[in-house]
């Protein structure tokens, strides 16, 4: 039996949520699962990465420019294709999806939460609590996120199930050839100690704290550089801060890159100083590339980083501790080598794309099987 699934997203723009959906679509068994996507806000650049020929990508700005239009669009698409499962992602799509399927008893509606929560007003909290309780199932990328949602929205944890992210371990690999080639292109010498990160240059990623920590590292490791891959609205303020800290000559802003798997290979250490995360694909990609990861103790990060074995955790904005960890790693090549091997193996054992896709397919299959058993 073919299971028909419709993902409802705001867009397929660059992001962990969107990247995960693309991976699920491309890696799913197309003989058993037909997976379509409707984008409500914009199409997004990641739509070009969908290679599954059976997948329809639907975007109609005239019909989804507001909530009522989005509801009608989802309803019309579902009437045409009669999906077994409507899978929304985040509270705006959950709201539209709920009303679109309110009088459709044949479709199962589930929601996925990926780390960005909206709970600052009582209306947001009340509406989302109502919606969480109306979903057949709520999926989350980490157990920590489930606990956070339960606390903030006073929802029982048994309404949720965690499916951890997965990474393409054939794409994100240690590669000396890529390392040497890109270091030559960027005029980074072989003996330079490179601290790197990847991500949108936005407030939640807290990159100012990384710049400040690097300014301390630079005092002890003169032959070090900081490399940031990504773009965003905070770029100019970060450039200004690097100038203020006197580290401009040793900070490289690469901008948005399509070759992140190669870029990771020029790093010696990967750092992510975020204020919050769900379960970061970027951390998993860095680990798959054989990098020690040094990340804040937020969201699902403690679930994937083994302290002292695959990397290190530090408290948000603890600049002193971050700089100490980086210096200690620089001073112990054996430790770096050992952690690098552990990181790669940890991902191979636990966080492959095939395992993630299998877990999603199992949920879809069980939900449809359960519904058929009840009819």
Cα dist from 83 to 2, 109, 191, 337, whole Å? 10, 10, 56, 49
Token pair, residue 231, equals 């773009």
279 and 369 share one domain: no
23 and 157 share one domain: yes
162 and 193 share one domain: no
> What's the average model confidence in pLDDT over 247-261?
94
104 and 240 share one domain: no
Q: Which residue has the tokens 């599954």?
A: 52
Contacts of 340 by beta carbon, 8 Å cutoff, 6+ apart? 174, 290, 291, 292
For residue 167, the 8-state DSSP code is B
Q: Which domain holds residue 335?
A: 176-350
Is the pLDDT reported for residue 21 higher than 90? yes
260 and 294 share one domain: yes
Question: Is 159 contained in some domain?
Answer: yes
Question: Is 218 contained in some domain?
Answer: yes
Give residue 375's pLDDT: 58
88 and 113 share one domain: yes
Question: Is 31 contained in some domain?
Answer: yes
Tens of pLDDT, residues 40-85: 999 998 999 999 999 999 998 887 778 999 999 999 999 999 999 9
227 and 117 share one domain: no
50 and 197 share one domain: no
Question: Is 171 contained in some domain?
Answer: no
215 and 146 share one domain: no
Tally of domains within the chain: 2
Question: Is 111 contained in some domain?
Answer: yes
> What's the average model confidence in pLDDT over 334-360?
94
Contact 200, 232 (CB under 8 A): yes
Question: Is 243 contained in some domain?
Answer: yes
Give residue 261's pLDDT: 95
Put the strands of the sheet holding 137-140 in their side by side order.
Answer: 57-59, 33-39, 3-9, 85-89, 108-113, 137-140, 160-162
154 and 18 share one domain: yes
232 and 323 share one domain: yes
Instruction: State pTM to two decimals.
Output: 0.84
Measured in whole angstroms, the distance separating CA 348 from the mean position of its chain's CA atoms is 18
> What's the average model confidence in pLDDT over 361-368?
94
Give residue 62's pLDDT: 81
At residue 368 the predicted structure's pLDDT band, cuts being 50, 70 and 90, is very high
CATH number, domain containing residue 287: 3.40.50.2000
Tens of pLDDT, residues 265-320: 999 999 999 998 888 889 999 999 999 999 999 988 998 999 999 999 999 999 99
Question: Is 30 contained in some domain?
Answer: yes
Cα dist from 52 to 48, 56, 74, 194, 374, whole Å? 11, 9, 21, 37, 32
Q: What is the chain's Cα-based Rg?
A: 22
Contact 152, 144 (CB under 8 A): no
The string over 283-309, giving b where at least 16 C-beta atoms fall within 10 Å of a residue's C-beta and e elsewhere, is bbbbbbbbbbbbbbebbbbbbbbeeee
40 and 109 share one domain: yes
């Amino acid at each position: 039996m073919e299971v028909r699934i419709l993902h409802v997203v705001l867009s397929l723009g660059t992001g962990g949520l969107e990247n995960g959906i693309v991976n699920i679509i491309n890696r799913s068994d197309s003989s058993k699962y037909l997976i379509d996507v409707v984008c409500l806000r914009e199409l997004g650049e990641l739509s070009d990465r969908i290679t599954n020929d059976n997948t329809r990508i639907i975007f109609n700005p005239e019909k989804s420019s507001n909530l009522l239009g989005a509801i009608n669009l989802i309803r019309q698409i579902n009437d045409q294709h009669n999906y077994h499962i409507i899978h929304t992602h985040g509270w705006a799509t959950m709201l539209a999806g709920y009303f679109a399927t309110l009088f459709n008893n044949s479709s199962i509606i589930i929601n996925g939460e990926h780390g960005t929560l909206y709970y600052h007003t009582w209306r947001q909290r009340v509406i989302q609590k109502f919606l969480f309780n109306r979903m057949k199932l709520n999926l989350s990328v980490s157990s920590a996120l489930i606990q956070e949602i339960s606390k903030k929205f006073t929802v029982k944890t048994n309404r949720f199930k965690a499916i951890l992210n997965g990474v393409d371990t054939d794409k994100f690999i240690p590669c000396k050839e890529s390392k040497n080639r890109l270091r030559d292109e960027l005029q980074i010498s072989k003996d330079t100690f490179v601290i790197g990160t990847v991500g949108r240059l936005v407030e939640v990623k807290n990159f100012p704290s990384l710049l400040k920590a690097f300014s301390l590292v630079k005092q002890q490791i003169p032959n070090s550089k900081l490399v940031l891959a990504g773009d965003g609205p905070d770029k100019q303020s970060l450039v200004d801060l690097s100038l203020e800290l006197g580290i401009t000559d040793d900070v490289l802003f690469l901008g948005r890159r399509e070759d992140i798997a190669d870029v990771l290979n020029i790093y010696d250490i990967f750092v992510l100083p975020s204020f919050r995360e769900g379960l970061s694909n970027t951390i998993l990609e860095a680990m798959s590339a054989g990098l020690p990861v040094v990340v804040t103790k937020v969201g699902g990060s403690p679930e994937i980083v083994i302290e002292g074995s695959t990397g290190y955790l530090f408290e948000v904005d603890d600049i002193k501790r971050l700089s100490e960890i980086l210096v200690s790693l620089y001073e112990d090549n054996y430790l770096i080598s050992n952690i690098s091997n552990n990181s790669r193996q940890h991902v191979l054992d636990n966080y492959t794309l095939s395992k993630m896709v299998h877990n999603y397919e199992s949920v879809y299959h069980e939900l449809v099987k359960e519904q058929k058993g009840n009819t």
